[in-house]
Structure 1
Amino acid sequence: MSAQSTPKGAWTMTFLLFLFMLVNFADKIVVGLAGAPIMDELKLSPEQFGLLGSSFFFLFSISAIIVGFIVNRVDTRWVLLAMAVVWSVTQFPMVGTVSFTTLLICRIILGAGEGPAFAVAAHAIYKWFPDEKRTLPTAILAQGSAFGVILAVPALNWIIVNHSWHYAFGALGVVGLMWVAAWLVMGKEGPLVQTVAMAEADPRVPYFQLLTSRTFIGCCVATFGAYWALSLGLTWFTPFIVKGLGFSQQDAGWVSVLPWVFGAAIVLLTGWISQVMLARGFSTRGARGVLGSVPLVIGGSILAGLPYVSGAALQIALLVVGAGLCGSIYVVCPPMLGEFTPVRQRGAVIAIYGAIYTLAGIIAPYVMGAVIQQAAVPLDGYMTGFTINAVIMVASGLLGLLLLWPNSERRRLLAQAAAQPKFA
């Protein structure tokens, strides 16, 4: 396989898309961060707040699939711009007096706008990097989610504590519009779109074969477990710190950063280790499949110990480490899918993958809210919810180990496609 050089400007686009994901996750975290004051002001039960957390994902998957097919035909530059405009506009209604229904509707619309974000951004980045150089930029892209929380939480929490949670939403709207302006000036389409023309000579693989391949299924299952943990972190981590462990809102803001700091380190470390392993001749089965799945099993096992330890510090430590280890799978799955998916079908396949695993975001926050509401003591409900999370993480990691074989997947799918008539 001949190595391709990285086009000039690739890392500038990577940085802009990193900022894109930073804004994306700052938008996601604000409801969880302001969870306690929102519940108090709107007089929401845990089950209602869980529904609010889940509502963000109601249209998330549907929009991800639709936009995934759109970016097979439309430049990612304009799709990314339109999405960021939607994010920004949906934040401003919360600046004034708002009802639960209005907040719910705005989160649903925001989720529809953000559903395709990672898939479209990954597809855009892959137009700037050849396959053997994609793991590290994918890791940097994924870092946008962590830094979106690490940088946004202290600033947003300061606004919440000193002013109001309403203004935290408004601040995010302004930041989103700032990114829109920067992207209008500097955003470009990657030159490796030439690869699309070259791919015309390759056989087209039927979507049914791509979406029923064991590696695609393995990526969906493994990332579903990781996203269960992530969606709980987005919605319930700060309320757990405030209402479960008794921290103040001000202190909870700083504690809420910890899982994302640890997760950021895991994501960067995974990207670097994967790239080193590939350079030393490891198969993508080992350098991507195994490397992404094992941390899920370890993280779930750590999280399972949470109800059996005492002391807030130790409980937070187990939650931070257990949930933070999930980050590895986000780094390796998009490159694995890109490895065996024809270029002209890649945007749709990565988007469908995202649409499937983010279904965990609909289920997890509501399940946690229902469990807390039914518990005799809220803390017991939180512990039950995190135990459910632990079981799902371990199961998803084991299934990932069983199913993720991207190197042999490519050979098998292309052989099948080459044997079919061109019009099939």
Structure 2
Amino acid sequence: MLLLLYVINYLDRVALSIVLPLVEADLNLSPEQFGIIFGAFFLGYAIFNFLGGIAADRFGSLWVLGAAVALWSVFCGLTAIATGFWSMLILRILFGMAEGPISAAANKMVNAWFPRRQVATAVGLVCAGSPLGGAVAGPIVGYLAVSFGWRLSFVIIAAIGFVWLCFWIYLAADAPEKSKRVTEAEKAQIEQWKREEVVSLKGVVEPRRSMWSYIKLPAILGTSFAFFASNYTLFFFLSWFPTYLMKAHGLNIKEMALATVIPWVVGFIGMTIGGVLSDFVLRKTGKPVLARKIVMVTCLGCAALCVGLSGFVTTLYAAVGLMSMALFLLYTAGPSYWSVVLDNVDKNSVGSVTGFLHLCGSLAGMVGPVVTGFIVQQTGKFDSAFLMAGCVSLTGAVVLFFLLREPRIKSAPMVPGEAV
């Protein structure tokens, strides 16, 4: 259900990027105005990343996620009645506010259901829904927009969220012990895992601390900045790459919708194997922070090179190929960001600290699309925007290399090669 949630989340989110040329012509909006609209989404989104995490810690993930899906589906559908810049701007802010709690609440639920040594794998499988949603968005929204118009397409995709919500209310639970669908044998196994983790953490993890004391740890601050850098490139792709393909390479909306599937598919593969890779390195090194650091620094640095070069190639295949590789690397590192929090933060503060991490990443969504829109407006080209995204990602890798170190709250020791 969480995987499907992420699919729907990204399907709804990227829909505007897919139909941007149609909306641009219909509402007479400039690239700079669209940059502001894309950035406005993240104004509401970033604030509720944090507030949603706090709400998940207080009220549980089940109802926070259900309320979020209901609200964002409403605002997604209302996009169909936008008449100009200001109405679109307000709707995108509200839409972003509704989507904000998703990652923090979902990560808290993963933390409640999975053993600590499997969280990266679990988070990777859940979050793989994001690029999968981006992959299916192009063909689905492109087809709907061409067949029924861009306005009706938003109403149709909004309905998908309400279908998911009906199943969620019937099937989901905050934790195994609250679920009617977990057998007694499974509950006993889960309790055994929890007891083993309590024993392994005894004398290693300090007593529960305040949310702010966790946030001030160098490991959390370094990871948060790197997540900002990673998301700058991701949201640059999310907001502007479809338009780049149409304007720089002459694709029509159908061709563009198909071309954007490729980067999202490789991103789905990257996110799926990223958590497995992170947990594999953890078992080999026995050091959680080092394991996450190796994966994140390597992937973010290589992604920076790929995206920086993408704006200077002259062929469609080279551009799509380089951006596909960049997205693959960014998503491969994705589960490790969340795992740094899950490795080092008390379960009662996981939602809040995860929300802070997501807040930092979402600030890139506020800045990146606006900066890109300004660059394109001033230069009439995208090459400088690609270079900017590459430099931001490289900076994130460098900061992560120096700041991410073992926190004062140490993770439980592991024996290298220990089986999960």
TM-score (norm. length: structure 2): 0.88
The aligned residue for residue 223 of structure 2 is 219
Alignment check: 8 A CA contact 1:305 1:318 kept: yes
Alignment check: 8 A CA contact 1:53 1:365 kept: yes
Cα 1:296–1:126 shift into 2, 3 Å: same
CA separation in 2, counterparts of 1:143 and 1:264? 5
Alignment check: 8 A CA contact 2:270 2:332 kept: yes
The residue type equivalent to 2:401 in the other structure is: L
1:164 aligns with 2:149: yes
Specify the SS of the correspondent of 1:44. Answer: coil
The aligned residue for residue 238 of structure 2 is 234
The aligned residue for residue 287 of structure 1 is 291
Alignment check: 8 A CA contact 1:300 1:322 kept: yes
CA separation in 1, counterparts of 2:82 and 2:225? 40
Alpha-carbon deviation of 1:334? 1.2
Alignment check: 8 A CA contact 2:35 2:372 kept: yes
Specify the SS of the correspondent of 1:81. Answer: helix
CA separation in 2, counterparts of 1:86 and 1:161? 27
The aligned residue for residue 391 of structure 1 is 391
CA separation in 2, counterparts of 1:285 and 1:346? 17
Structure 2: tracts of 5 or more residues without a match: 179-190, 413-420
Task: Write the mapping of 1:7-22 to structure 2, written as runs, cut at 5 A.
Answer: 16-22=1-7
Task: Write the mapping of 1:53-68 to structure 2, written as runs, cut at 5 A.
Answer: 53-68=38-53
Specify the SS of the correspondent of 2:42. Answer: coil
Specify the SS of the correspondent of 1:410. Answer: coil
Alpha-carbon deviation of 1:206? 3.1
Alignment check: 8 A CA contact 1:340 1:409 kept: no
Specify the SS of the correspondent of 1:204. Answer: coil
Alignment check: 8 A CA contact 2:52 2:102 kept: no
The aligned residue for residue 338 of structure 2 is 334
- Residue range with higher mean Cα deviation, 258-267 or 299-308: 299-308
Cα deviation code 1:108-156 (max 9, x no counterpart): 1110011121111111111100110111110011101011111232111
Alpha-carbon deviation of 1:412? 9.1
Alpha-carbon deviation of 1:94? 2.8
1:296 aligns with 2:295: no
Task: Write the mapping of 1:339-354 to structure 2, written as runs, cut at 5 A.
Answer: 339-354=343-358
Large movers: runs of 4+ above 4 Å: 192-196, 198-202
Alignment check: 8 A CA contact 1:32 1:235 kept: yes
Alpha-carbon deviation of 1:97? 6.0
Structure 1: tracts of 5 or more residues without a match: 1-15, 414-424
Alpha-carbon deviation of 1:281? 4.3
The aligned residue for residue 416 of structure 1 is none
Alpha-carbon deviation of 1:42? 0.9
The residue type equivalent to 1:338 in the other structure is: L
CA separation in 1, counterparts of 2:216 and 2:81? 47
1:253 aligns with 2:238: no
The residue type equivalent to 2:297 in the other structure is: S
CA separation in 2, counterparts of 1:349 and 1:208? 8
Task: Write the mapping of 1:296-315 to structure 2, written as runs, cut at 5 A.
Answer: 296-315=300-319
The aligned residue for residue 420 of structure 1 is none
Alpha-carbon deviation of 1:361? 0.2
Over the matched positions of the two proteins, sequence identity in percent amounts to: 22
CA separation in 1, counterparts of 2:31 and 2:131? 26
CA separation in 1, counterparts of 2:277 and 2:71? 36
The aligned residue for residue 411 of structure 1 is 410
The residue type equivalent to 1:411 in the other structure is: K
Alignment check: 8 A CA contact 1:159 1:165 kept: yes
The aligned residue for residue 4 of structure 1 is none
Task: Write the mapping of 1:96-115 to structure 2, written as runs, cut at 5 A.
Answer: 96=81, 98-115=83-100
Cα 1:27–1:409 shift into 2, 3 Å: farther
1:44 aligns with 2:48: no
Cα 1:205–1:97 shift into 2, 3 Å: closer
Alpha-carbon deviation of 1:202? 5.9
Q: 2:15 aligns with which of 30, 42, 45?
A: 30
CA separation in 1, counterparts of 2:7 and 2:82? 27
Alignment check: 8 A CA contact 1:226 1:329 kept: no
Alignment check: 8 A CA contact 2:33 2:85 kept: no
The aligned residue for residue 144 of structure 1 is 129
The aligned residue for residue 119 of structure 1 is 104
RMSD (Å), alpha carbons:
2.2
Q: How many residues align?
A: 392
